Structure 1
C-alpha cells in the first residue's frame, strides 16, 4: 500500500516518490517547495519536480533536489516527458527512477538538444572547510572570500529560501546555524554586483567540529571577452582565498558554460572543466606526503598557514585537459581512504572527483 503525503504541493505519490508539477517560468526554492522536498526526503522518498520545457531552475533548488536524490522532469507540449539532466525520454515522470543502462542517443528528446540562449563563462567553486568548536567560529568566510575575488565585493543578501530578503550578515548566519544544531543548516547567498553570483552553504556538526561546505557559481565573462583568458587564474585565486578560512579539507574550481542569470535550463550543456584543486592540511597529512615535495612533483604551490600548509594544484583550462590532469594527480591516491580520513560524505566526495562536478545521484 502506498502512503500519501498530505501536502498542498503534492500532485501525485508513489511507493518511493512524491511529485509536484509547477507551471511557472522560474522554479525556485520557495517555502512550500522546500517543505515538500524536506518532508519527502524524511519519509524516505525522492522528490520529482515536473515543469514545462522552457522553465528554468535556480541553483539553490537544483542543489536541494540533488541533496535529496530528486529529479527535474520536463513535460513537453505534445511529445511526452524527458529527464532534464540526461535528456532521456520518459513514458511517465516516475520512470526517471528506474535503473537504466548506458544512455541511448536515439532516446534523447529533441527538446533537450535545441539551441540554448546566450552562453556565459561561469566559475564554479566548491570547498569543504572544518572549524574547531574550541575556538570562536564565524561561518560564511569562504563564501565571503570567493565573492570578493570573483565580484570584488561580498554577497549582498542571504537566507534559507528564495527570494532572499536579508542583508548579508555572517554573524546572524552563524547564530542561526548554532540554534539549529545538531540539525544541519543550508543557506543561500547572492551578490547584486555587476557580476551575478549565487552561493549555497551547508553547515554540519561532526565529531571533529563544524564542517562547512560552500558552493559558489559566478558569472565571469562572455566566451570572447578578455576576462575569459584569466578564468584559470581566477579559479586559483578563489581557492587560495578559501584556503585562508578555517581548516580547508578539499576544494575544486571548475569552468562551465551557463546562462547569464545563473539558472539551469533543461537543455544539453558541455561538462564543466576542472581548473584547480585544493587539498587542505588534513588531506596532505592523510596522504603521508610532504607538502613542498608534493607540490614540486605535481606542479602546484603551498597555500594557507606556513605551519600547516595545503596544496593548490592547477589543472586545465576551459578549453579542456582538466579531467585528464586531475586523473593524473589523484591516480596514485586511495580516493576512498582520503574521503574517510577527511570525513567527507559520499555525495560531497563525488562533487570533487566525479566527471561533471555534481553531487547528483
Structure 2
C-alpha cells in the first residue's frame, strides 16, 4: 500500500529545493528517474523503492485542492504548485521520509502539506539493505497468494503484478484520477491486464476515476471490515484467486448495502455526442461549454488530462492537445467552480464521419428543487442548432451532491429525456421516429428540413422511465430501413 503526502507551495520547486527534499534520507539513498524524468524515486542501496516524487504541477483552479483534499487545510492562493510524494508501506521508514521531503519543500517555499501533521524536516534513517536478500517480487506469470504482501521492484508504480492483473493499494479519503493512475490504466490496457484498485471501505472515488474503473476488466476492490473483499461498484463479494480478484458467488456484501447519501441530494447527468467534419478551423469543447453555460450560467472553470485539474478553461488549448494526439483519442476532464459542483469527462475521437466528441457532464444539487429540469429541452435545441448534436441522454439519481462515490449501494439513475439528432432522425425516418410507443409525443427541434426529436421520459422519480427508454430505443432500431436491409 502507498501513503501519499502532498506539498502545496506558492513558489515552484526548483532544483535547489528538490535536492534539499530528496536529501531527507541522507546520501546513502539512491535517486532514479522514471517516465522520462517525470517521476523521481528514492531507493535503498539494494534498489527497493521508498518514495516516488512526481513532477510539480501548477494549479490555476480555485477550489481544486479543497475538492480533492478537503476544506480543513489552508491552501495557497492560486496559482500554486502541487508536488505529490508517494511512499511505499513495504518499508516502515518510507512514510516519514515522504513527510520530510514535502516538509522541506514547504519550509523553503512556503505553503502547506497534506495530510495535516505529516510534514517535518528531520532526516529519516533507512536501514542498509544492500547485504540482505529481498523477497522475490511479483512478476508477470508468477501470481501472488496474498495481494497485499508483495511490492514488485520490477514495476514500482504498482503494488502487485501478475500475468493478468496490476493491483494498486491506496488509502486516502478521496482517490482521484491522477496522472499516475492514468498511466497505469494505459499500461495495463496495453499489456492486456486489469487494474484492480484496492482501498479500505471509507475511501471514496471522484467521478472521473469511477468512470475509468467502471469497465471490465478493471475493478474497485474494497477491503471489507468484516473480512474479505467486495466490489466497490456492485457490492459483489470477491476472492483473490489465480492472480486476480474474481466474484465468489452472487452474494452482495452487507457493508455495501448501508445507506450513506443524504436524502435530498441529487446528481443530474447529461451525456451527449456531437460529430463535426474534420476541418482546420474546428474548435473542440464548444458544445461542452454551451451545455455548462446553459445549466450553470458560466463556463467550466478548468480542464486537464488528470486530477488535480490544473488549467483554466480554454477550448483553443484543448483543441491543440487533441490535434497533437490525433489520430489517437484524447480523454479530458473539466470541472466547475466550488459553488456549483460539476464534473465532465470528454473524449475526442476520429471517426469515418469526422471528429466525434463524447461528453458526460454531471452536476450536484443539495435538494431536488434545485435541479433545472425545465431547461433540458432548450439545452437540446441549442446543441442541435449550434453544435451538431447526434444523441443526448439525461438522467437524475439520488446521490452525493459533491459528486464523489462511496463504496455503498446508491440508487440507479432514472432517465429524464432522450434526444435524437438530425442525422439519426433522417436514418430512422421522420415518420417512424415521430411515432414511438410512449405516452408523450416527441418535440421537434432544429430546422424543419433537417429536424431533431426530443423525447421526454419523466421527471426522474419513476423507475419505469427505463422501460420507456428501452421501448423507445427498440422502436428506433426497428425502423423500416433496418427491416429492408435484413
Q: Same fold (TM over 0.5)?
A: yes
The 5 Å alignment of 1:284-299 reads 284-290=425-431, 293-294=434-435, 299=441
- Could you tell me how far apart the structure 2 residues matched to 1:307 and 1:235 are? 23
User: By how many angstroms is 1:227 displaced?
Assistant: 2.6
Q: 1:283 to 1:97 in 2, by over 3 A?
A: farther
Are 1:85 and 2:233 matched, yes or no? yes
User: By how many angstroms is 1:234 displaced?
Assistant: 3.8
Q: 1:241 to 1:220 in 2, by over 3 A?
A: farther
* Higher relative contact order, chain-length normalized (CA < 8 Å, sep 6+): 1
User: 1:150·1:220 contact (CA, 8 Å) conserved in 2?
Assistant: no
Aligned twin of 2:3? none
User: 1:254·1:273 contact (CA, 8 Å) conserved in 2?
Assistant: yes
TM-score of the superposition, structure 1-length normalised?
0.83
Structure 2 counterpart SS, 1:64: helix
Q: Provide, for residues 1-57 of structure 1, a one-character-per-residue CA deviation record: whole Å limited to 9, x for no partner.
A: 617995323111233221111111111111111111110011111111111101110
Structure 1 counterpart SS, 2:309: coil
- Could you tell me how far apart the structure 2 residues matched to 1:174 and 1:187 are? 11
Larger relative helix fraction:
1
**Higher mean C-alpha deviation, range 128-137 or range 192-201:** 128-137
Structure 2 counterpart SS, 1:317: coil
Could you tell me which of 450, 469, 474 is aligned with 1:326?
469
Aligned twin of 2:322? 177
**Higher mean C-alpha deviation, range 4-13 or range 48-57:** 4-13
- Could you tell me how far apart the structure 2 residues matched to 1:34 and 1:332 are? 39
Query: Which structure has the larger Rg?
Result: 2
Q: 1:245 to 1:83 in 2, by over 3 A?
A: farther
User: 1:281·1:309 contact (CA, 8 Å) conserved in 2?
Assistant: yes
- Could you tell me how far apart the structure 1 residues matched to 2:480 and 2:245 are? 32
Aligned twin of 1:161? 306
- Could you tell me how far apart the structure 2 residues matched to 1:309 and 1:236 are? 14
**What is the aligned residue count?**
330
Q: 1:296 to 1:76 in 2, by over 3 A?
A: closer
TM-score of the superposition, structure 2-length normalised?
0.63
- Could you tell me how far apart the structure 2 residues matched to 1:273 and 1:179 are? 38
The 5 Å alignment of 1:345-356 reads none
Gaps of 5+ in 2: 1-139, 144-151
Are 1:308 and 2:456 matched, yes or no? no
User: 2:365·2:401 contact (CA, 8 Å) conserved in 1?
Assistant: no
Q: 1:299 to 1:20 in 2, by over 3 A?
A: same
Gaps of 5+ in 1: 340-361
Could you tell me which of 311, 332, 345 is aligned with 1:200?
345
Could you tell me which of 46, 65, 78 is aligned with 2:194?
46
- Could you tell me how far apart the structure 2 residues matched to 1:195 and 1:19 are? 34
**Higher mean C-alpha deviation, range 132-141 or range 149-158:** 132-141
The 5 Å alignment of 1:1-361 reads 2=141, 6-66=154-214, 69-92=217-240, 96-97=245-246, 104=250, 107-119=251-263, 120-134=265-279, 136-192=281-337, 194-223=339-368, 226-228=369-371, 230-231=372-373, 233-290=374-431, 293-294=434-435, 299-320=441-462, 321-334=464-477
Structure 2 counterpart SS, 1:142: helix
Aligned alpha-carbon RMSD (Å) = 2.8
- Could you tell me how far apart the structure 1 residues matched to 2:209 and 2:160 are? 20
- Could you tell me how far apart the structure 1 residues matched to 2:217 and 2:382 are? 31
Aligned twin of 1:348? none
Q: 1:67 to 1:130 in 2, by over 3 A?
A: farther
User: By how many angstroms is 1:338 displaced?
Assistant: 10
- Could you tell me how far apart the structure 2 residues matched to 1:292 and 1:161 are? 39
User: By how many angstroms is 1:95 displaced?
Assistant: 5.8
- Could you tell me how far apart the structure 2 residues matched to 1:48 and 1:335 are? 39
User: 1:235·1:254 contact (CA, 8 Å) conserved in 2?
Assistant: no
Aligned twin of 2:73? none
Q: 1:234 to 1:246 in 2, by over 3 A?
A: closer
User: By how many angstroms is 1:67 displaced?
Assistant: 5.1
